Structure 1
Amino acid sequence: MNERPIKVLAVEDSENDFRLAMRLLRRAGFAPDCRRVQDLPALRQSLLEGPWDALISDFSMPGFSGLEALAEFRKTGLDIPFIFVSGTIGEETAVAAMQAGANDYVMKENLSRLGPALERELAQAARRAAHRQAEAELSRFEAHLHQAQKMESLGTLAGGIAHDFNNILGAILGNVELARADLEAGHPALAALTEIQLASLRARDLVRQILTFSRRRPQQLQNIALRPIVEETFRLLRATLPAGVELRLCLDEAPLHANADATQLQQVLMNLCTNAWHALRGEAGQIDIGLAAAHIDAATARLRGLAAGSHVHLWVKDTGSGMDPATLERIFEPFFTTKSAGQGTGLGLSVVHGIVVSHHGSITVDSQPGQGSSFHVHLPATSAPPAMPPTAERTAPARAARGEHIVYLDDDETVMLVMVRTLQRAGYRCSGYREAADALSAVKDESLGVDVFITDYNMPGLSGLEVAREVAAIRPGLPIVICSGLITEELCDEARQAGIRAVIEKEDAFREIVPQVARLLTAAT
């Protein structure tokens, strides 16, 4: 029979009784590793030096009672069996001992019951420990789910705001371009227009971060090697960070790949390292960037919302000020920042969180005040892609405008007017409409000779996709473009299925619309 190892602490003044108890435990199938103590100081020290699987105690000892031993044991909060072994304990005393927290009592004249009693109490303790672990895991999972739901709600809100803001920015940037084209070189208004343009571009970058956070910006996912991305980001950071910051690279020699958007992963690294630099508070310090292979077991995967198996581990560690628990709870919330007013948007880490989650990964943080922070990103690993032979891509040059008729539909009058002016300046005839019914009537009117139809996506009444489908039914083969302030993967898929030739983002439409129309007309000839 295989003996079960067990560590037992015995409070017993009799060496003979101690030896007898251990012998009976061995007969019951245990292999006890025991220590005997006889006074309170020795008990305290032994409890500190554990761990112990069980504690047995005599009830009556010279100058030291079993109840005192029990009280000292209860202070530790340990959930292990405590069993009295006594030859003098009476029924009333035994009941009092059980009420004080003992698990059982065994009379010395019936010491053969010690093994079965200990076996039973160990099994119950194991069940309690498993129950506590399950409750803790459930609590962590519920907290993770609550955070995910909160981030999803905030993402939906942020995405809606970004959509409207993109419309405004598109109109501002488009009108700036038109105004600059109307002015001669050296005109005093050009400087002001340049400042407007720069401020609008900064706002556009902020909108892009919001869209990335809300996971509404299309990703370019490819099976890519991660080491080149980390090394390129390291070079950019080294050229940007002050010389007093020691930047170190810790890379696994093995080639590591993931299905990822290279630009977004670089943004993750840049945001994490910028955050680390701010944590140094202008002082000299150290930032480590690491990349290594990792294996995530099933239990960890459940807690982090990952698939168990091979992952890549990307981390950024700093020697900065660290964070307290209250800050750690909120660091991934959008617009939450510990910086003073004007020093940050509070979007950096929420953008990081959005990117990582959209890559089916997880991000965790280890930090304590005064001891720096470590951000750990785990992404599912992939195998290296097979080598592909290079291909030469040939594109026919787009032809110049020849007065072709373009119909532009957008419920936002400001956007519609700037796009009409932009196309007209390029040499096209352009008719702008705010109502879908008017734009569809123009397509039906053969005398107008519509050559390209452009529509906004998000409009009251008919959506841009619905309008595009009606246009395609009226004029099969007519080039159709959707222009939207919020492009999603779903929109791109639906547009392809509807036969739409191109999808343009409004924030860049004032630059992209003319080349795109030229390409479509070239392809149609």
Structure 2
Amino acid sequence: MSPSFSPLRILHLEDSELDHELVSMALDSDLGRDFTIQRVEDEEGFLGALRDSPPHIVLSDYALPGYDGLSAFHAAHTLEPNLPFIIVTGAMGEEVAVDTLRQGVTDYILKARLERLAPAVTRALAEADARLSRERAEQEVRALNASLQLRLEEVERLRGTTERQNQRLEVQARQLEEALNLQKTFLAETSHELRTPLTALLGYLRRAEREAGGSQVLQDAQRVAENMTRLVNDLLQLSRGELVQSIEMHFVNLGNVLRQVGRDYGVQADVPDCEIVGDPGRLTQVFANLVSNGIRVSGGPDKVRIELRLRPGEVEALVIDHGPGVPDDIKPRIFDKFYRGKEAGSAGLGLTIAQQVVTAHSGAIDVFDTPGGGATFRVRLPLPDDADEDEDFA
């Protein structure tokens, strides 16, 4: 209702033309702003003006023929509760004046004191603006409170959801921890149980080999038993959270190691000689694990082969299979302890042991796709400083 940027619209309910002129003159003299004033004489004209040209303020006589100021006030208040309403009357008793103010009339001015009219109009408009601003602010506060309440309810809902999820995660974490502890206990107990018969078997094979005088079959059996004993010891160490140890480094022909693994598992291993510094038993363990994995997932030794390639400063040993391959999302985790892929069929420690052995040799192991399908495990090992880097094994 603020008329700040337009002429003030005043609706004057007055049956006397002279009194209307006096009111207009008083306002024109003292109000200090542009205004338009419309006079109506009766209820019909008053209600029509309220609807057709809503005013910023109403000035009304108290007593009119067939109508009165209080009835006009209630009609205006019904249409616009915040509309300022001032009664301008010739005479009004104190009790009547108090009653009109109690009912909500903004102010009353006696026609004999019209010098008070302009200040009363200014004050009434200012109070109406302040009241309107206050109501708007209160509405904004209520809307903000409602929005905050909704947000608080959403926060509480999310908090409840988070607490339930945390509880589920805690249960899952405990279950995983229990499963891991059971797996470690099983590995430790199994390793202890296997070490005794393997130690006895290795002793019998050594005695038989001495008595037979260098039988190749007994030598191969003894070597396999030694590898089994070493694997059992590694499982025991890993179940305790320890790293694979007992690496004995010396000059070794990596080509012999790979060809021997090829004979043991019946896979193609047409590789040349290549001298490195390493532990032949541990290296045999690495490549035996990679080859046995390749045979298991590809379906037979005819789908697995071993290659050896020389690179500047290092040698690459490749175990290539034509099985289902390793999905890209699994490659980064395949060397993690206890990780088992869909085709694992094991405790998930073989590749972990292989990685630790290769790392102990200052090397690296990774996996990539075999062209045409399958997986290729690549073991890179450093060459001795005096190795002939120009030799071609291709």
TM-score by length of 1: 0.34
Give the strand-richer structure, 1 or 2. 1
**Larger Rg: 1 or 2?**
2
Give the helix-richer structure, 1 or 2. 2
Structure of greater relative contact order (alpha carbons < 8 Å, 6+ residues apart)? 1
